[in-house]
Amino acid sequence: MKSTAFTGLEAELKKRLSEERFAHSLRVAELAREIARANGLDPEKAYLAGLLHDLAKELPESELLRLAPPMNEVERAHPLVLHGRAGRVLAEALGVRDPEVLAAIEGHVVGVDPDFGLGMAVYIADLAEPGRGYNQDLAERALSGDLLGAYREAVRRKVAYLEERGIPVHPRTREVLARLAED
């Protein structure tokens, strides 16, 4: 079901992103909404966070660094990891005020605490949206009501993917993974 509540933001996003990234954002928004609905979370907040999650993804590195100054060596060496935090800043500039939506946008790159359902829904939707062609099992698991289990596996897979390619894992992601192992 297409939402009309966010038409203005969708139009703004369409101007800022490539056609492919915009289509990805719409798919993430729709899947995040469905995951939220299946897990007793606010579906419209999930849609909005999913829609805007990659708002800063295609910015030049210099702009990412300006909007979200690096706080550790991983962020200095790999500025693209800043796009969640930079996206939060841009979403605020567009008038988004809901702290949960903003936190989900910020956390979709490096992870969120496992007690933050909306953030987990957006994180999973980003990794498992249908256009990616993989991780469908994560979406199905989240849609069946096992949000925490799907999130635990999503973070584990992301860390394994980065490590296999020799890409440094963000310290926040390692913290989240350790916390998930405790639950």
Residue 41 lies in a domain: yes
Residue 88 lies in a domain: yes
What confidence tens digit (pLDDT) does each residue in 123-141 have?
999 999 999 999 999 999 9
Which distant-in-sequence residues (6+ apart) come within 8 Å of 91 by Cβ? 52, 55, 101, 102, 105
Region for 88 from its dihedrals, namely left if φ exceeds 0, alpha if ψ lies in -120 to 50, beta otherwise? alpha
User: What is each CA distance from 79 to 29, 65, 94, 175, in whole angstroms?
Assistant: 24, 7, 22, 20
User: What is each CA distance from 120 to 36, 93, 142, 144, 163, in whole angstroms?
Assistant: 9, 24, 9, 14, 22
The confidence score (pLDDT) of residue 6 equals 80
Q: What is the CATH number of the domain that holds 48?
A: 1.10.3210.10
Residue 86 lies in a domain: yes
Domains contained in the chain, number: 1
Residue 120 structural domain: 7-182
Residue 1 lies in a domain: no
Give me the residues of the chain with pLDDT under 70, please.
Answer: 1-5
Residue 2 lies in a domain: no
Residue 39 lies in a domain: yes
| Model pTM score | 0.95
